[in-house]
Amino acid sequence: MNITHRPRRMRQTPGVRRLVAETRLHPADLVLPMFVVEGLDEPREISSMPGVRQHSLESLIIAAREAEDAGIGAIMLFGIPQRKDAIGSGASDPEGILARGVRALTKVTHLPVIADLCLDEFTDHGHCGVLDESGRVDNDATLARYQQMALTLARAGATMLGTSGAMDGQIAACRAVLDKAGLTDTMLLAYAAKYASAFYGPFREAVDSSLAGDRRTYQQDAPNRIEALRETRLDLAEGADIVMVKPALAYLDIVREVSDMADVPVSAYVVSGEYSMIEAAAANGWISRRAAILEALTGVRRAGASIIVTYWAVEVAKWLSERPVRHSNRHDDKHCPR
């Protein structure tokens, strides 16, 4: 056999595969979403997201310290209030649960704290903005509320604001009010390509959502890619420091296209439904849990995301810190799963 090119040489042992790996995960690439609930005395399991909890302020601090020790890149915080109203008053309350959670985190960790800037957890109708008389989300009235929320969270100490509400002009509105207040160092993470997705279901439980209906009039439509690139260009022009694609696993093509055109870091959010699908399949013995998680996150990284928001952040960071397994016979493939 006269075979000149033998690509299998590059795969013959774990050491060789590790040496030539084109894509690598690192703990610092990973961002952990966390949920803090007003009035909660102890952590509460989220039934549709095995292994993920809603936190009290006290347990939030403990979990944040564990996350920092694991070496992850940042924490993304969502707040769930006891009382909601039509305009989401609690979102801009300096003594509201989200602002209090941000302050608590900044006192106990050096990790960047990304505060979610959206009204959906705080409104009694569950939408991401203020409703007009016809029941539709009023884009410009919502921007005014986002500006109030941005000031509150920045003053609480948030490193970055995650503008997840999918309103037109939200980056420009927040940047303007922050700069006018002298808060020029507060970063803005634009949810530039945020799709109306079926994969958000478990998250609704995590934040005790009041939503009836859907958010298709302001989140992007799944069949569209040009729209995602346009939204990203607009957010970049408005001053976004980082752009995001959400969800991640079902939109890897968008992650790639956004990363090819953006001149800022690109993040991707492996959302609740994507998390729960893998957890459910693993719990049923249908897939290898650890291998599937690492493969999924590596795929997001390979597609171009330099930052990955994932509920597995701490666990995966610990895996990545482990030393490679030493094999007694480095030429024996029987040690490696096929």
Nearest residue to 310 via CA among 276, 262, 336, 338: 276
- Could you identify the residue written with the tokens 């000149």? 4
Pairing of strands 160-163, 113-116: parallel
Ranges of H-type helices in 29-187? 57-70, 97-108, 139-156, 170-180
Cβ distance 116 to 74 under 8 Å? Answer: no
Nearest residue to 49 via CA among 255, 263, 311: 311
Structure tokens belonging to residue 225: 């890619």
Nearest residue to 43 via CA among 33, 53, 32, 57: 53
Cβ distance 247 to 197 under 8 Å? Answer: yes
194 in active site: yes
- Could you identify the residue written with the tokens 């006192």? 107
* C-beta atoms surrounding 164 within 10 Å: 23
318 in active site: no
Of 84, 107, 180, 246, the active-site residue reads: 246
Q: Give the whole-angstrom CA distance, residue 173 versus residue 65.
A: 33
Of 84, 107, 194, 334, the active-site residue reads: 194
**Cα 212 versus chain centre, distance:** 23
Q: Give the whole-angstrom CA distance, residue 241 versus residue 265.
A: 8
| Residue positions annotated with a catalytic role | 194, 246
